Structure formats: C-alpha cells, structure tokens
Amino acid sequence: MAKNLTTDVLVVGGGPSGSMTAKWAARHGARVLLIEKRQEIGSPVRCGEGMSKEWLKEVGITPSPRWINLEVEGARIFSPSEKVFEINEKHAGNEVGYVVERDAFDKQLAIDAANAGAEIHLKTAATGLLKEGGRVVGVRAKEFGEPFEIRAKVTIGADGFESQVGRWAGIPTNLALRDMDSCLQYRMTDVDCDVRYCDFYLGTVAPGGYVWVFPKADGLANVGIGVQLSQIQEPAAARTFLDRWIDKHPGYAKGKKIDVVGGGVSISPPLKQTVADGIMLVGDAARMIDPLTGGGIANGCIAGKICGEVAAKAVHDGTPTKEFFQTYEKGWRARLEEKLYRNWLAKEKLCSLSDETFNKVVDALVDVKLEKLTVHNILKAVRDKYPEVTKEFEAFL
C-alpha cells in the first residue's frame, strides 16, 4: 500500500487548468500536490490545437517555439456554399492566434507548476472523495494501482470533460444533449491547407457544430468536426460527417491520416455552482469551455490562476469553506461569465440557422468592409443586404 499523503492544496488533473491552478497556489505559498492519472502529462492529445493568444500574459505564460507550431493571420469562415469571410487580427480584436503542440504546451505548464514548488504524481487516479462532516478533505487514490489516501485542506477538480470529482462532491455538472458536442479529428498530411488561416466550415456539414482545419505546417493540418448531440441520430455521427466532408474536398481527400482523436466538448451556459466545502472546480470540469468556439484552454487557465490564488489564501486563513470560495466563484465569473453566456446565446441561435440563412449572412459580411467585428456591426451588415434574415436575430438587438 502506497503511503498516505497530506498537503495543503490537492489538484486532480494535470491539464492546463490543473497546472495553472497548481502554479498559482504554490506561488502564493501553499504546499501543492498535483495528481495525473495518465503516465504522461499532455498525452494523448485531445484537442484541435487552435488557441487565441491575448490572454497568455495575464496568466504568466511566455510564448515559446517549443509549443507553438505557427501563428496564423486570421480565421476564415466558410458558408455552406463555401463563400469565405475572413476575420483578421484587426477586426477580431487580437483574438486570432496560435496553432500549438498541445502535449508540449501542457508539459511546459506542468514544468511551470513544478518550478513554483508543486509536487506532481503520475499514474495516480482519484477514485473517490474523503469527506468529514460534509466537507471534502481530500481523495482516495491509486498510484500505480496501489490504493492510498491524500488528505488536503483544499481539493481542486481539474479532471476535464469527463470530470468525476465535481459529481462526487454533489456539484451538478450534468449536460443536456444540446449542450454537448461529439468531436473527432484527424491529423492529416499532404493536404492543401493554408498556413495563414484557421478555417471553419458552418452549416449542415456539421449539425450544430463546425468542421475545422487548423494548419500545423505546410501540408499538415488538424482536420476535425464537432456535432451537437441533439441534432444527430445515427451512431458514429462525428466520424460519418467528418469522412463525408473530407470526401467532398479533394484538397483533403488526397491526404493521409496520421492520427485520430475523439472527445466530448461542453457547449453549455455557465454552471450555477463551481464550489462546495473544501473543493473548487476549474476548466472543462467546471464547464468553462467557450460554447461558441469550443475552446477551453484560455478560460481554464484564466480561472486556474484565480482558483490557485484563492486556494492558497484559504489555506493561509484556515477557511476552506464554500463561503470563502465565493471569492473564486465571483472572481472567475467577473472575468468570464458574461462572454460565456453571450456566446452560449449566439451558439443557440447559430445552431438553429438553415444553410440558406448561413449563406446569406456570410454573403452580406463578405461584401462590406467591417472595421471591428462586433455583433452590432455584423447585424447591421446583414440587415442592409438581407432585411428578412434580420428577423431571426431580433433577440440580439
């Protein structure tokens, strides 16, 4: 039997959100233990690897060629009729960014956490929570299959989309069918991707989601799809729709697949509750994924920094209570909640549009020069060209 451990802050999960939380808790003086069930941080990769960049400085991440494949100039939105609307850095408010090597990125964040003083245990899975009088005081775990206990003043659930920790703690994290995408991606070589752009294909090619092409290098790209569970019927829909899309695009149909990854992505409104006595949730485990883009890294890291700081303060003050953790609850919401909610509304609307409407919207956008890409400017462009379509967007006005 492995030896039981005690720590101030226990982080379950060694993805970006977990490492970020561990780093900032350690920096603020807490003893931190991060456990990861896999044998390697960052692998296997379950990610499209496209990432915005304007937030990196805020959380103390220094961009490095070790994990950046390339920097794109913009994003291209393809309508169902494949008219292209280009979003560049200027009108996207610096939100376009990098295509990254996620395993190297995750490892760098774990190194940052270790350098700040966090301990890391691999092959260590949480199997249940330790509770005392309703308060979470650590986890039961297995390290290399050996059961043991870790007692902690603060436990952090950073265990990703398939989070168990939150549910064990009684925090409702269940998703409705319409609030989840089923995703599949191939890494493909010998394809005609454009290294200047991340591409997004909208409409019934990917019901309730989109097809993406994120270039990793000349001729090499992540080609993936997300489909909304409420809009699909047959099993293996993600694979069926992605294969169909590839078949119809000669520049990709000629390519060769060198990797396949699957995954679930939440596209839900923000959770009502992300903390309980002794425990906080962060990142995908807290359903912080942007429901419009499906991106989770930035929000997870931003919330992770706040979570780590609050965890360290709770240890210092001896108050790991649900009430004290409201500092985190309010902190991450002040920073992220409005955009999450707005993008969830936008996603709900987009998921309901017909191909014909998508074509009109993109068509209207292509013809006008937008200075700044705001919902207001988009709607105005659409209204000027296709007034009848604007009715569908009244809720946004």
Q: Which residues bind another protein (CB under 8 A)?
A: 37-39, 44, 46, 125, 160-164, 167, 174-175, 177, 180, 182-184, 229, 232, 235-239, 260-264, 266
* Closest to another protein by CB, 30 or 183: 183
Q: Closest distance between another protein and the C-beta of residue 58, in Å?
A: 28
Q: Which residue's CB is nearer to another protein, number 159 or number 277?
A: 159
Q: Characterize the bridge pairing of strands 146-157 and 135-143.
A: antiparallel
State how beta strands 275-276 and 210-217 pair: unpaired
Q: Packing angle between helix 355-367 and helix 375-385, nearest 10 degrees?
A: 100
Instruction: Decide if 75 contacts 91 (C-beta within 8 A).
Output: no
Shortest Å, Cβ 38 to another protein? 7
Alpha-carbon gap, residue 371 to 394, rounded angstroms: 23
Toward another protein, which CB reaches closer, 52 or 173? 173
> Shortest distance, CB of residue 169 to another protein, whole angstroms?
12
In angstroms, what is the minimal distance from the CB of 129 to another protein?
Answer: 13
Minimum separation from the CB atom of position 255 to another protein (A) = 19
**Closer CB to another protein, residue 141 or residue 378?**
141
Cβ of 239: how many Cβ atoms within 10 Å?
Answer: 16
Tokens of 393: 């967007």
SS3 242: helix
- Nearest approach in angstroms of CB 235 to another protein is 4
- Cβ-based nearer residue to another protein, 270 or 320: 270
- Quote the Cα angle for 201-203-205, to 5°: 70
Element (H, E) at 146: strand 146-157
Q: Which is nearer to another protein, 33 or 180 (CB)?
A: 180
DSSP lists the bridge partners of residue 132 as 135
2 contacts 26 by C-beta, under 8 angstroms: no
Nearer of residues 76 and 347 to another protein, judged by Cβ: 347
**Whose CA is closest to 274, among 245, 299, 240, 247?**
299
CB of 148 to another protein, least distance (A): 17
